[in-house]
Structure 1
Amino acid sequence: MNNNLGTSERTGILLRIGTLELRCRAVCFDLDGVLADSHDHIDRAVTHWAASRRIGMDNLAEASRSLTDVEFVRMAAPHLDPETEAGEIQRIEYELAADTPPMPGALELYRSVPKRATAIVTSGSRHVVTRRLRSLGIPDPNILISADDVTAGKPAPEPYRAALRLLDIHPDDAIAIEDTIVGATSAKAAGMSVIGVGERLSRDWAGTLFETCVPTLRHVTAAAA
């Protein structure tokens, strides 16, 4: 984290989490589980798909929430065509996406950061993600990196590197907000600092993979620095 950013035309951002203050010039948000309360939709789509293919879902739910659909199918059912099967999962997700609620505190934080300093970095397919964002009231994000925009999804660093390139910003000057170890690993590999959000993340990760972890984004505020 670069807490002494020097002179720049880009407005600085101060993120406060309790007594902790983090300074940056851009914030990259994951979508599912960070901005969008969509894990239930993902679980329903994947469970329906798995049942129709007679595939057990033991220990696969977490992976379905953090990998691209194609990469998930390759892991869960390597004997099936990943593109075709991912398309079936996405068909169900798309039907559910029009009724996507926000995560607690997510929209308030997102809208408190200058739009030009934001990016959304997700493992979801672009047509599903776009529908989710419209449901959230974010029809035109500044930068959107989806599964369709990269060759290697999270946990590879490519999604966050793509966002940083479009933001035209150094990794030290950006913070990612993630709700999974897979997503945080991607951001960390791209050289970024990461805030973890969600009850499922152990605070034991704080100081290693994450700068800090919070139960919800209601615990994070943003202001000009």
Structure 2
Amino acid sequence: MRAVLWDMDGTLVDTEPYWMATEVALAEEYGATWSTADAQHLVGNSLISSGHYIRERTGIPLSAEEIVERLLDGVVAQVQHAVPWCPGARELLLALKDAGVPCGLVTMSYQRFVAPILEHLPPETFRVVVTGDQVDQGKPHPEPYLTAAAALGVEPEDCIAIEDSPTGATSAAAAGCQVLVVPNHVPVPAGERRTFLDTLVGVTPAELAALPG
């Protein structure tokens, strides 16, 4: 294990409820409905893909790009009020930093949403940050993880990716990473290069490095 690559939403911070609440509010503003199943369908997707899905599903008179900006407005406001760290995630992240293991953040959220979360971490906790507005192909395409590994100067095969969604796990595995899946809001099927844990609570850097694969 030469580096650890972290997903953000649902893995590092439990912001999926923030996204879901913002999606419901946006749909209701235009007299449309939005279900839990609709929200779960978007978990792990690129924001622009989510914007297109919301537009097609609800028929609201906004472009996909405008929908993304409205979602970001709502979620950023909630994160600025409180950062909901996933159990054990922040502790493991800081332990990896103390152990000298390089970490990268690989998220489909945009930079303006990531920034207020990074403010709650020590400088250089993430040596590389790859956001959804920096790549041409979002998850489940391997580009985000390939980009992060290259920026860190390591091979994807030497990285452990921590993910919570089928989309993210597919992206990381396709890039060649060993994937630690910690399911959160949606189930993740078994697959190649995937190891599963119920929680990150109590996980140490040494235990992470000893994972199968």
Cα distance in structure 2, aligned partners of 1:130 and 1:216: 25
Q: 1:197 to 1:138 in 2, by over 3 A?
A: farther
Q: Normalization by structure 2: what TM-score?
A: 0.84
Q: 1:202 to 1:63 in 2, by over 3 A?
A: closer
Within-5 A mapping of 1:167-206: 167-200=152-185, 205=190
In structure 2, list runs of 5 or more residues that go unmatched.
none
1:105 to 88, 93, 103: 88
Q: 1:170 to 1:199 in 2, by over 3 A?
A: same
Cα distance in structure 1, aligned partners of 2:92 and 2:15: 18
Within-5 A mapping of 1:144-183: 144-183=129-168
Q: 1:52 matched to which residue of 2?
A: 29
Q: Is the 8 A contact 2:127 2:152 kept in 1?
A: no
Share of identical aligned residues, percent? 29
Q: Normalization by structure 1: what TM-score?
A: 0.80
- Does 2:53 correspond to 1:75? yes
Cα distance in structure 1, aligned partners of 2:167 and 2:53: 14
Q: 2:127 matched to which residue of 1?
A: 142
Within-5 A mapping of 1:13-52: 24-52=1-29
- Does 2:78 correspond to 1:96? yes
Q: Give the letter aligned to residue 74 of structure 1.
A: H
In structure 1, list runs of 5 or more residues that go unmatched.
1-23
1:116 CA displacement: 5.8
For residues 196-222 of structure 1, give each alpha carbon's deviation from its aligned partner in whole angstroms, at most 9, with x where no partner exists. 0135565861xx245321111115221
1:194 CA displacement: 0.3
Q: Which runs of 4+ in 1 moved over 4 A?
A: 199-204
The count of aligned residue pairs is 199
Q: Secondary structure at the match of 2:151?
A: helix
Superposed CA RMSD: 2.2
More strand by share: 1
Cα distance in structure 1, aligned partners of 2:180 and 2:75: 27
Q: Give the letter aligned to residue 77 of structure 1.
A: R
Cα distance in structure 2, aligned partners of 1:93 and 1:155: 22
